[in-house]
Structure 1
Amino acid sequence: MRTICSEDHRLHFPQAELHAGQFVTPFERPSRVEYILARLRERGLNDIAAPDPVAMAPIRALCRPDYLAFLEHAWDEWKRAGCAGEIIPASFPARRMNADRAPTNIDGKVGFYALAAETAITAGTWAAALSSAAVAQTAQRIVAGGARAAFALCRPPGHHATADMFGGYCFINNAALAAEAFRADGVARVAVLDIDFHHGNGTQDIFYRRGDVFFASIHGAPEHAFPYYLGYSDETGEGPGEGANLNLPLPPGAGYGPWAEALDAALARIRAFGAEALVVSLGVDAYKDDPISFFTLDSPDFLDAGRRIGRLGLPTLFCMEGGYAIEAIGVNAVNVLEGFLDA
């Protein structure tokens, strides 16, 4: 299995995240990639390459043009406004406020395009987000070219990003970009399986009214877990997408037993959907020691999860998402890949 990774991920490294009422070093940081790369090499998965140049046309087709313009120019606007620190949203178009007009002032504009306040933008964020998209695009082309699987070691991650909002450490939705690429390649039906602890709200939002891309997510129950406002089991799609959205929320303390049952249910639905290609949003923050989740999976569980996914027998692209127990992230992510290869 080839891994695609870009050194440009390092360009995005905010120095602060607002968490539990204080500023902390962000949980999503460059060292996550280093632990995964080290584990890949340790396990002999040494086929690691840089991405091809990013293709902007598919990104423009996925995202609203005003949102992309915001991401590209936000840092320069922020600095021209005399702001000294990193870009952190401070005001939002909440209920009964106008959510259809972006302010001209950069402070208001940031809140207009943000879905949460934990994700900062730095001077290198736009370049890093594009490099992450390029990683997903390159890995998808490998699978579309006939490989059984590829691993897009994306950073920043993507599954919380919508077509017009950033947050949850995400700016461009890499998994959605890859699913769209499979469709453009002529794959009639694509499935996106999100095993990150946090609900893939952005991916759901992008495909919610479509019947050609099936989305399944196993995640912490939204009444208890970020992103809080999507991810309930009664969200099943709308219009042509009715029945093509499956949310499997689980309560605090859930272990591998109920999690594996949810995974099997998702895989059964993907089979019934008739998917011809699979994109896995590979988050490993369901791990028992993750600092911002409440599931209790252990490292061997990720190996078994990979085997179950592998038994689908579909061309599969893994896109890296979350996982914040830094010293265990390499073992857990690579366990999924090894389990898949063993299936």
Structure 2
Amino acid sequence: MRVFFDERQLRHAPTHYFRRGAAMPHQEQPERAEILRDMLIGEGFEITKPQDHGLDPIKAVHNPDYVDFLPTAHARFVESAGSEALAIPTMHPGVRRGKVPKDIHGQLGWWMTDTSTPLTEGTWDAAYWSAQTAVQTAETIASGERAAYALCRPPGHHAMRDCANGFCFFNNAAIAAHHLTRTYTKVALIDVDVHTGNGSLDIFYERGDVFFCSLHPDPATYPTFFLGHADETGEGDGAGKSLNLLLEQGASQEDVLATLDTGLSAIRDFGAEALVVSLGFDMAVDDPLAAVSVYPEGFAEMARRLAALNLPTALIQEGGYLGPSLADNARSFLTAFREASS
């Protein structure tokens, strides 16, 4: 199984963000990718740098004006506010598609925004090469490989068409899925990160060529809030092509796997010809952002069930933070997927 990663993805290095009103160390650190990279090397995976596919695959998914804003945004912010200020928004234009949640922290975000995507000097390089990693993975399976893994960092599945959100700048999985529609008529994107793939849902909500499925706790009471409710099933050409499968907070490994089976059945019914997996290891019981209870063997079983779809598959890294089992969870999933798809 091919693996893609570029060291420039380590250049985004946020120090802190605000959560529940308090400043705290930022969870999305370069060390996450270094841990996964080192595990891959130890398990005999060969890591290749992606080619530069340019901005076109990114702008095919994201608002071109948003994309063009990012390369110089940090420098412009520093020039205006100084180097000691945190490059986050403090003025907000209004709301987007979704529902008002019940949780106070979600309501603050509905009427305001989150603070989790501070710009740093290296953010553009990291986000750009994270997206290129996803494009290269899509190119690889479109060219006939059974499976490939993109060690994307920063992650992407919360990024919407025209905004950064939830640690994410470019929606790597959506970029990969759209890129695959050049080769395949029907593409499925399944999100097994513990958080709603709200950005992917936003991007594909009115499209009929990409089936989107996400497993996550109820967004009425759990981040990222707003999008990902069970009754959000798509509109227009996308009617019936979005599926949000809600988990109880604290759900057991068996519950998660049973819910995954529901999603896999829907993908089969859709008739998908290729698969993109938004792969988050923050379903782990000991992840710093834990909400459900998956263990290393559960990740291995998840991999086997996904591989059993027998589809060309692009694995796109999303969450999974600096908990004690991060490397073990990644090792279990990726080695099991490699074995099952060989």
Q: Same fold (TM over 0.5)?
A: yes
Identical amino acids, percent of aligned pairs: 42
- Tell me if structure 1 keeps the 8 A contact 2:188–2:272: yes
Superposition deviation, residue 63 in structure 1: 1.2
Letter of the 1:159 partner, please give it: H
CA distance in 1 between partners of 2:283 and 2:82 (Å)? 37
Letter of the 2:326 partner, please give it: I
CA distance in 2 between partners of 1:165 and 1:115 (Å)? 11
Q: Does 1:320 align with 2:317?
A: yes
User: Deviations along 1:180-237, whole A, 9 cap, x unmatched?
Assistant: 11112x2000000100000000000000001110000001211221111011111100
- Tell me if structure 1 keeps the 8 A contact 2:228–2:244: yes
Aligned to 2:162, the other structure's residue is in SS state coil
> What residue is the counterpart of 1:67 in the other structure?
66
The ranges of structure 1 where at least 4 consecutive aligned residues each deviate by more than 4 angstroms after the TM superposition are none
CA distance in 2 between partners of 1:214 and 1:226 (Å)? 23
Superposition deviation, residue 76 in structure 1: 2.1
Q: Matches of residues 70-149 of structure 1 in structure 2 within 5 Å?
A: 70-84=69-83, 85-94=85-94, 115-149=113-147
TM-score, with length taken from structure 1: 0.91
Superposition deviation, residue 338 in structure 1: 1.9
- Tell me if structure 2 keeps the 8 A contact 1:54–1:133: no
CA distance in 2 between partners of 1:205 and 1:334 (Å)? 31
> What residue is the counterpart of 2:198 in the other structure?
201
User: Deviations along 1:37-91, whole A, 9 cap, x unmatched?
Assistant: 222122222x111111142112122111221122122112212213332312223
> What residue is the counterpart of 2:235 in the other structure?
238
TM-score, with length taken from structure 2: 0.91
RMSD: 1.8
Gaps of 5+ in 2: 97-108
Choose from 283, 288, 294 the match for 1:286.
283
Superposition deviation, residue 95 in structure 1: 5.4
CA distance in 2 between partners of 1:95 and 1:203 (Å)? 18
Choose from 250, 254, 268 the match for 1:253.
250
The range that moved more, 118-127 or 305-314, is 118-127
CA distance in 2 between partners of 1:62 and 1:269 (Å)? 24
Superposition deviation, residue 93 in structure 1: 2.5
User: Deviations along 1:233-280, whole A, 9 cap, x unmatched?
Assistant: 111000110110000011111011111111000000001101000000
CA distance in 2 between partners of 1:30 and 1:326 (Å)? 14
CA distance in 2 between partners of 1:190 and 1:247 (Å)? 17
The aligned length equals 326
Residues 1:95 and 1:34: Cα distance change in structure 2 (over 3 Å): closer
CA distance in 1 between partners of 2:17 and 2:324 (Å)? 20
> What residue is the counterpart of 1:50 in the other structure?
49
- Tell me if structure 1 keeps the 8 A contact 2:57–2:135: no
Superposition deviation, residue 138 in structure 1: 1.1
Superposition deviation, residue 117 in structure 1: 1.3
Aligned to 2:26, the other structure's residue is in SS state coil
